[in-house]
């Protein structure tokens, strides 16, 4: 008998009754994933530094039928991260999914960038992931039922770029951290840890790059077999997949969301 049931197939991408912490929820990718997870059935605690922007996202998710709460926090601050996890467990009783979709960059030549600026990028993109995964893992282990961690890395984690000594280094560190976390957490505790590595996706910060007449846009398309840059909704499917039962056998992976950029 074929070991695939209709029930499994019908529910393999569902997140019903799961509780998800989403960081970077006020941004383009984080807000899109928060909405997607809510539509897939999860209860959401949306987090970001800017409470005003965050509350607008949470209000929209609620207006569209999602179960979502807001908690402003700095993911580079251990006390804030512990408070975020405590809030989530107090309100929803558990944490099943961590979706880390925050990030920061300040491109500058190594000759011009201060050590303090470089460290800020490293803290925002790398230290924050260590804190989140560590503290959420502690809660998941206490629950004893496993969990899923979906971490945003970057296409730039695998190749350097001028002005990106901070960003590329931090994202390369994230990829290796994800692989190491999988070795620590998956077999023993059933916590799957994977990263998504995106190319340029539309946001307030990248909107200027989407002008089809610009040289930046034209140059990008030379390396993009998909023929266009990314939209936030393009990110949601992979994020749901990696948080759902469909990805139960996957861990320690750095998943290409580059439109084929890594292929060319």
pLDDT per residue of the chain (264 residues) written in tens, 0 to 9: 899 999 999 999 999 999 999 999 999 999 999 999 999 999 999 999 999 999 999 999 999 999 999 999 999 999 999 999 999 999 999 999 999 999 988 889 999 999 999 999 999 999 999 999 999 999 999 999 999 999 999 988 888 889 899 999 999 999 999 999 999 999 999 999 999 999 888 888 788 888 888 888 888 888 889 988 889 999 999 999 999 999 999 999 999 998 888 887
Residue 109 contacts by C-beta under 8 Å, 6 or more apart in sequence? 162, 163
- The catalytic residue among 167, 189, 217, 255 is 167
Q: How far apart are CA 54 and CA 34, in angstroms?
A: 11
pLDDT (tens digit per residue) in 138-188: 999 999 999 999 999 998 888 888 989 999 999 999 999 999 999 999 999
Decide: pTM greater than 0.75: yes
Q: Is 167 a known active-site residue?
A: yes
* Ordered strands of the 254-257 beta sheet: 67-70, 43-47, 19-23, 97-100, 147-152, 191-198, 254-257
Look up the CATH architecture of domain 7-203+231-259.
3-Layer(aba) Sandwich (3.40)
* 251 to 60, 99, 101, 194, 221: CA distances (angstroms): 32, 14, 18, 6, 31
Residue 9 CA neighbour count, 13 Å, CB half: 5
Residue-wise over 59-80: b if at least 16 C-beta within 10 A, else e?
A: eebeeeebebbbbbbbbbbeeb
């Amino acid at each position: 008998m074929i070991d695939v049931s209709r029930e499994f197939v019908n529910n393999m991408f569902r997140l019903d009754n799961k509780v998800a912490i989403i960081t970077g929820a006020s941004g383009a990718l984080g807000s899109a994933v928060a909405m997607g997870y809510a539509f897939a059935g999860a209860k959401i605690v949306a987090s970001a530094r800017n409470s005003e922007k965050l509350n607008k996202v949470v209000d929209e998710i609620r207006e569209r039928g999602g179960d979502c709460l807001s908690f402003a926090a700095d993911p580079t601050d251990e006390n804030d991260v512990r408070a975020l996890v405590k809030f989530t467990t107090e309100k929803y009783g558990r944490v099943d999914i961590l979706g880390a979709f925050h990030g920061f960059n300040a491109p500058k030549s190594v000759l011009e960038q201060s050590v303090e600026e470089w460290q800020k990028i490293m803290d925002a993109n790398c230290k924050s992931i260590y804190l989140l995964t560590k503290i959420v893992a502690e809660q998941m282990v206490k629950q004893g039922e496993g969990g899923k961690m979906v971490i945003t890395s970057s296409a730039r984690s695998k190749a350097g770029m001028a002005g990106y000594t901070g960003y590329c280094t931090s994202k390369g560190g994230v990829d290796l951290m994800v692989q190491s976390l999988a070795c620590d957490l998956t077999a023993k505790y059933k916590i799957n840890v994977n990263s998504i590595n995106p190319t340029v996706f539309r946001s307030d910060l990248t909107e200027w790059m989407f002008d089809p007449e610009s040289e930046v846009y034209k140059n990008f398309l030379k390396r993009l077999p998909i023929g266009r840059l990314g939209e936030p909704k393009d990110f949601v499917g992979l994020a749901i997949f990696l948080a759902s039962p469909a990805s139960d056998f996957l861990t320690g992976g750095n998943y290409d969301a580059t439109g084929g950029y890594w292929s060319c």
